[in-house]
Structure 1
Amino acid sequence: MPQLTPIASQDREQFMDVLRGIAILGIFIANLAGFSWYTENPANTGPWLLPEQDHTMEFLHHMFIEGKFYSIFSLLFGWGIALQLKRAADKGVDAAPLVRRRLGWMLVLGAIHLMLWPGDIVFFYALLGFILLWMRKLSNKAMIITGIILILSPIVLYAAKSYWVFLNAPAGLMYETGGKVMYAISGKMLASDQDIAAYLKQASWGEALQANTAGFFFRYGYLFFVSRIPKVLGIFLIGYALGRSGFYNRIQQHKKVLYMIIATGVVIGLPANYLLARYMSYCMADYWQLNTKGLYQTIAYAFGVAPLALAYVAALMLLFQNKAVAKLMSVVAPVGKMAFSNYLLQSVIGSVVFLGAGFNYIGEVGPFYYTIFGVLVFIGQIILSRLWLRYFNYGPIEYLWRSATYGKWQQMRKTSIAV
């Protein structure tokens, strides 16, 4: 029986690495809002806070970044699993057991990362990956329809939670548990984000890492409240159908579809995201209180985020068909090839820069400056990733993950160095 081995780097889909690299940048900029604990408050002053520019930049983040890049990453996750299963099927092998091992080790690595950054998506993706595997026998059409229904389902769920309060029990239980864990760690009742930020600003590394234990419960309380599970699973399914159908290998045949996706993103996605940005900038309290404006925000998110994210992907697919543009875009491919390592590195950098045990910039940097910071870090990651992959086949985390998945140490160093 043929044996499955890791995909050689030269056989990887270059466009997917480019897309991962771009997604990693967008995710980092979005996560910097969490690392910085920035809140818009005219009373806050400092050299890295620019009230007018920060307000404008945060609005632009809500409109063009919020949710879009984790959506692209989710699409790639489903796409990647489909390619792995398809590649194995072509050899007459069922790769599902291997993918389950891969997801199992992903859970372990994600759990470790959660202790560093409660905003982790690795653990969450691995959990939903098992559901994706269970649903993989759906037809491509059924997957896309189910995916769209799941992406839109938070509208119904939000309305239901507004009417039947008991449906908020999972989120409430998570938040309550997080509060109790935080009290056990700090000896204080930390009732708000501002209280937690103040605690982290003076906490040691040990205390900050302990606080991340409570952060896990707050994080998953948030994921339940915003109905992130169906959103991400829906995009997984669309990505899986995309990968299994071989859509990308027949771009010329599907140009009309890509233009339709872009048009939908512009005509429906952009106005919806503008409304989303307004609600997130001015009416966020209504969302948490399950008010009518919160429902409107949920509708704007459902009709805005996924369509615009897919429009980004479609536009990049078309641009990548031009050799000159593809060469320029491929500059970010090394970051995508070692996306897991770069994602964790961003968490290390964010923690060191903002936590009190590090450089202590919590609450002192606004969206304008932390966006510039995020881009500069990403440029550094492009350079570092390019240098690393000149000598090694995989990023350090990818190496450990692959070795654990296949049950043997992989070939880390390249046998010949590219000039």
Structure 2
Amino acid sequence: MQDASSSPGRKTAQTVSESSGRLVTVDALRAIALLGILIINIRSISGLDFLNAETLATVQGGADRLAATTLAVLVKGKSLSAFSFLFGFSFTLFLDSCLRSERPFLPLYLRRLFVLLCFGLINAAFFYWGDILINYAVLGVLLLIALRLPQLPVLVLSLVLLLVLPTVMALSDMPVADPGMMYEGLKSLAAYSDPSFWRTVEHNLERFFGPSEEMSVVRLWRYTDILGLFLLGLWTGRAGVLHDVSRHRRFLISVAAVAIPVGLFMELSRALAPPESPPQAAFMAGTPVLAMGYIAAAALLLNLASAEPVRRFFAPAGKMALTVYLMSGLAGEIIFYGWGFNLIGEVGTMGVLGISILVYAGLLGLCHLWLRPFRYGPWEWLWRCLTYLQWLPIRK
């Protein structure tokens, strides 16, 4: 416990913190990662992946195809990896908060994960079938075991999960494609075009909990990747790297200088490899590598004194990340599904990208307005109340 609460950088954190003690740089990082997640999720909701090649060609022009490839190489998976890393980092912040307030950490943390699991079930059913919160809640329990490990074993285990395991899995006899996540496009299009909201809920649950005949490389990698990023976030939080970016500037520059070109090379190689082939599966490791390069570079840029307006601009969305995540899925359904404006399968990637940015801008603006009179976002406040089993004040 002790090395998680006495890591270097704590005393200088006020240079990038609000008076409440929140790390504004971390909030801004979380908000930017959330933008990438929102874009990829809304593109998934848009129904483009359900179209056959002929129909897709009528919707996607040259600019749309270029945008889709760019998002796949630079954004897809990378933003979620960054978000997972920050979840592990936030674990150390929650631990520190409990130690400072002399509250019992273990029951509070387990209750916090259980509430997150419930939110994930709500999200998977009503907002977006591709929920990540359930996985976070389940795998987050394993951080309690890692908490007892010294720093070096945590780092080594993280790197094994992130870098070594994809190659091992690619060379195994497991199928690369995930049969449990492969549905007929026409079936999903019909379900999500239906004007009944409850038909959407039914199909959301069918997609999320659909049976899988066997474990695949892609499905197993999702879990090992998230856990590896959790551990890397735990290691970073203990080391105080994001608490005092200036002090760890050389380290972050080295990470960015290595991870960004290496990650880009691996992602491009993966894009050029034959679909569902072992080489493509082995290069999955490029996703977390590139994401860590993004995190390092963004932390350095956001920590500059001249970047204070940028930090303050994005931070509210990071502080209300749960609310933004849940409501972006709902916004996507309203725009694309049959019970809303029913644009599913009719908008190309460029159009979806524009819609996603507008949705994010609207939610970011609402975050700024909401946090003027209130301490927390609505979902964050509910999460805290259920975690502490107290009716906490929400107004400032």
CA gap 1:320/1:139 in 2 versus in 1, 3 angstroms: same
* 1:322 maps onto 2:310 in alignment: no
Q: Which residue of 280, 301, 322 corresponds with 1:297? A: 280
Q: How far did 1:253 drift? A: 3.3
* 1:334 maps onto 2:328 in alignment: no
Q: 1:391 touches 1:413 (CA, 8 Å); kept in 2?
A: yes
Give matches, 1:302-317, under 5 Å: 302=285, 304-317=286-299
What TM-score, normalized by structure 1, do the two folds share? 0.83
Deviates further, 69-78 or 258-267: 258-267
Q: Which residue of 28, 47, 55 corresponds with 1:44? A: 55
Residue 345 of structure 1 corresponds to: 327
Q: How far did 1:87 drift? A: 3.5
Give matches, 1:8-407, under 5 Å: 10-39=20-49, 43-44=54-55, 49-90=59-100, 94-116=104-126, 117-152=128-163, 153-162=165-174, 174=180, 192-218=184-210, 225=219, 227-279=221-273, 283-284=274-275, 287=276, 294-302=277-285, 304-407=286-389
| CA shift digits 1:109-143 (9 cap, x unpaired) | 11111102110111110111011222211112211
CA distance, structure 1, for counterparts of residue 216 and residue 306 of structure 2: 43
For 1:213, the aligned partner's letter is L
Q: How far did 1:93 drift? A: 5.2
CA distance, structure 2, for counterparts of residue 143 and residue 131 of structure 1: 12
Q: 2:63 touches 2:350 (CA, 8 Å); kept in 1?
A: yes
Q: 1:389 touches 1:395 (CA, 8 Å); kept in 2?
A: yes
Q: 1:9 touches 1:393 (CA, 8 Å); kept in 2?
A: no
Deviates further, 232-241 or 8-17: 8-17
CA distance, structure 1, for counterparts of residue 290 and residue 348 of structure 2: 25
Q: 2:114 touches 2:137 (CA, 8 Å); kept in 1?
A: yes
For 1:161, the aligned partner's letter is D
Q: 2:385 touches 2:392 (CA, 8 Å); kept in 1?
A: yes
SS in 1 for 2:228: helix
Q: 1:223 touches 1:229 (CA, 8 Å); kept in 2?
A: no
Q: Structure 2 stretches of 5 or more lacking a match?
A: 1-16
Identity of aligned residues (%): 31
Q: How far did 1:45 drift? A: 7.3
CA gap 1:300/1:406 in 2 versus in 1, 3 angstroms: same
CA distance, structure 1, for counterparts of residue 297 and residue 291 of structure 2: 10
Q: How far did 1:203 drift? A: 4.9
CA distance, structure 2, for counterparts of residue 413 and residue 359 of structure 1: 35
CA distance, structure 2, for counterparts of residue 91 and residue 343 of structure 1: 29
CA gap 1:87/1:208 in 2 versus in 1, 3 angstroms: closer
CA distance, structure 2, for counterparts of residue 27 and residue 396 of structure 1: 20
Deviates further, 336-345 or 248-257: 248-257
CA distance, structure 2, for counterparts of residue 308 and residue 90 of structure 1: 35
Q: 1:118 touches 1:219 (CA, 8 Å); kept in 2?
A: no
| CA shift digits 1:351-371 (9 cap, x unpaired) | 111111211111111211111
| CA shift digits 1:182-227 (9 cap, x unpaired) | xxxxxxxxx5133322332135111111112211224987896352
CA distance, structure 2, for counterparts of residue 91 and residue 412 of structure 1: 19
CA gap 1:375/1:134 in 2 versus in 1, 3 angstroms: same
For 1:238, the aligned partner's letter is L
What TM-score, normalized by structure 2, do the two folds share? 0.88
Deviates further, 78-87 or 58-67: 78-87
Q: 2:46 touches 2:347 (CA, 8 Å); kept in 1?
A: yes
Q: 1:85 touches 1:96 (CA, 8 Å); kept in 2?
A: no
Q: 2:25 touches 2:303 (CA, 8 Å); kept in 1?
A: no
Q: 1:46 touches 1:364 (CA, 8 Å); kept in 2?
A: no
CA distance, structure 2, for counterparts of residue 390 and residue 119 of structure 1: 32
SS in 2 for 1:391: coil
For 1:135, the aligned partner's letter is A
How many residues are treated as equivalent by the alignment?
375
CA gap 1:275/1:224 in 2 versus in 1, 3 angstroms: closer
SS in 2 for 1:249: coil
CA gap 1:9/1:385 in 2 versus in 1, 3 angstroms: farther
| RMSD, matched Cα | 2.6
Residue 183 of structure 1 corresponds to: none
CA distance, structure 1, for counterparts of residue 152 and residue 229 of structure 2: 14
SS in 2 for 1:251: coil
CA distance, structure 1, for counterparts of residue 219 and residue 335 of structure 2: 29
SS in 2 for 1:227: helix
CA gap 1:337/1:91 in 2 versus in 1, 3 angstroms: closer
Q: 1:37 touches 1:197 (CA, 8 Å); kept in 2?
A: yes
